[in-house]
Amino acid sequence: MSWIILVIAGVLEAVWAVALGRSEGFSKPVPTIVFGAGLIGSMAGLAWAMRDLPTGTAYAVWVGIGAALTVAWGMLTGAEPVSVIRLLLVAGIVGCVIGLKLTS
């Protein structure tokens, strides 16, 4: 169950990261509210998962999921460039996250 919560928390990390960028310094209310809700949910999920998982593993997986999804979202929406190298690097992050799960 901790792994499922951790994955959800990682997804919420990507949500708050994207919302933070769209809030324009907290000047736009809707992205600011999404940022706050995503941040609270993400941190709560990370904290819950860390009750059962080692801190380093949980944190690395949380950051990896959030980073990979944030970059992927940017590429899908056209906000960030797409290239073979970038796709391979994001795949590397995903591979490392899977590796941490498999070796836990």
CA triple 54-59-49, angle to 5 deg: 60
Task: State the Cα–Cα distance between residues 99 and 25, nearest whole angstrom.
Answer: 36
Average pLDDT for 8-17: 98
CB 74, CB 37: distance < 8 Å: no
Q: pLDDT of 39-74, one tens digit each?
A: 999 999 999 999 999 999 999 999 999 999 999 999
pLDDT at 31: 98
Task: State the Cα–Cα distance between residues 59 and 101, nearest whole angstrom.
Answer: 12
Residue at token pair 């990390």: 13
CA triple 47-50-55, angle to 5 deg: 115
pLDDT at 38: 98
pTM of the model: 0.92
